[in-house]
A and B are shown apart, each in its own frame.
Chain A
Amino acid sequence: GESVGLHLPTLSVQEGDNSIINCAYSNSASDYFIWYKQESGKGPQFIIDIRSNMDKRQGQRVTVLLNKTVKHLSLQIAATQPGDSAVYFCAENRNKAAGNKLTFGGGTRVLVKP
């Protein structure tokens, strides 16, 4: 079935380095994508979003890239900090015909080494 998924289940990164988390999606009709951060015992927290009419969007220390040709989404975290250690999910909001729900990928755990 159609789904949103991730390539790497765990990513270890040295403090201060940049992190890149990847996500593949299969529904070409998806028009809105969100990256969430989830810390232990907490709900998903919004990081950054991007619409399908864009290929790049930048926030504070984070950048999301969207490649619609290969249905690929990535999250780049600059100068990774210990507080960035968490599980990261990409989520997809499909077109209106599919309702107003988010479909999540399986998640990537980021471990920041001091």
Chain B
Amino acid sequence: GAGVSQSPRYKVAKRGQDVALRCDPISGHVSLFWYQQALGQGPEFLTYFQNEAQLDKSGLPSDRFFAERPEGSVSTLKIQRTQQEDSAVYLCASSPGTRWFFGPGTRLTVL
């Protein structure tokens, strides 16, 4: 595809469930980022990969959040034992180096 894609677009989870969010970056982009966007706010950085290496995970809010990019392409953000405060849009972005391209996001609602 021409851009960053994310799936699912919408996810409803019961509190305590585990969820996995997928990001397909633009082919060839070395860098991949995950952001969390609460309603009415700007995106907040979660974590950053360069190829398969996770270089910065300082934004992950708790040890319930885990991200991986095992082959340096597709990335998965996993949230264990979801809580209501995890409800947000999760954005993925990829970059060839100097510009960031964002996907449409996954809207997670935790009931």
Contacts and interface: CB of A to CB of B under 8 A. Distances in A.
Binding partners A and B? yes
Contact of A107 (B42, B44, B93, B104): B42
Interface residues of B, number: 25
Interface residues of A, number: 20
B104 A42 contact: yes
B102 to A, nearest CB: 3
Contacts of A102: 33, 43, 45, 100
Interface of chain B: mostly helix, strand, loop or mixed: strand
A46 B26 CA distance: 15
Interface string B83-111: 00000000101010001111111000000
A103 interface: yes
Contact of A106 (B41, B45, B48, B104): B41
A101 B102 contact: no
A99 B33 CA distance: 12
Interface of A: 34, 36, 41-46, 49, 89, 91, 99-107
